[in-house]
């Protein structure tokens, strides 16, 4: 396998309410804060990472448009937008590079409102149910994906 260019840039995009991790429904999302997750990702990163969060759909769209031609890979937790935002889905398609869709909880085992992600149509891979550590798993998986494509 080829060596990964160690300057591969990964964008990690977080959707609505993920700024409240650690407090919101800890029985589902755990007690780890988004700042702690960002720290784990920075420790695990093999190159530059951008770690972003917004509660605003259009800002997520802007982040994904900006990732085109800039990010070698995108990891996205679309949170509540997962289940209906065609705008975020379209922006993911526009991005065009490898995408890992990430959910902290196992959405497939949840209620009807949190089960059917439309984002998966534009995802290279999906990770769900690993808790907050899923972000680090996703980062390692993205490097593996990029290495396999190199
Ligand atoms: C986070 C959310 O905020 C929910 O809207 C999703 C996702 C699940 C998660 O598990 O990370 O349904």
Most informative mutation of 29, 76, 128, 135 for ligand 1 (most atoms within 8 A of CB): 29
d(CA 61, CA 91): 6
CATH topology of domain 10-135: Rossmann fold (3.40.50)
Residues 39-76 have pLDDT tens digits of 999 999 999 999 999 999 999 999 999 999 999 999 99
22-30 contacts: CB < 8 A, separation 24 or more? 28/104, 28/105, 29/104, 29/105, 29/132, 30/104, 30/131, 30/132
- Measured CA to CA in angstroms, residue 78 lies from 1, 7, 54 at distances of 31, 25, 10
Ligand 1 centroid distance, CA of 97 (Å)? 23
Residues 114-145 have pLDDT tens digits of 899 999 999 999 999 999 999 999 999 999 99
The model carries a pTM of 0.95
Instruction: Indicate whether residue 127 lines ligand 1 (CB < 6 A).
Output: no
Instruction: Indicate whether residue 30 lines ligand 1 (CB < 6 A).
Output: no
Q: Where are the domains of the chain?
A: 10-135
């Amino acid at each position: 396998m080829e060596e990964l260019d160690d300057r591969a840039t990964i964008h990690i995009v977080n959707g609505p309410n993920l700024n409240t991790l650690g407090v919101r429904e800890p029985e589902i999302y755990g007690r780890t804060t988004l700042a702690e997750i960002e720290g784990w990702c920075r420790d695990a990163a093999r190159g530059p990472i951008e770690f972003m969060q917004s509660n605003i759909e259009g800002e997520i769209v802007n982040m994904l448009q900006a990732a085109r031609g800039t990010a070698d890979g995108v990891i996205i937790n679309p949170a509540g937008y997962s289940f209906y935002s065609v705008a975020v889905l379209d922006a993911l398609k526009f991005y065009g590079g490898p995408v890992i869709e990430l959910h902290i909880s196992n959405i497939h085992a949840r209620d009807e409102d949190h089960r059917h992600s439309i984002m998966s149509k534009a995802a290279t891979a999906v990770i769900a149910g690993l808790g907050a550590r899923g972000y680090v798993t996703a980062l390692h998986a993205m490097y593996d994906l990029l290495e396999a494509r190199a």
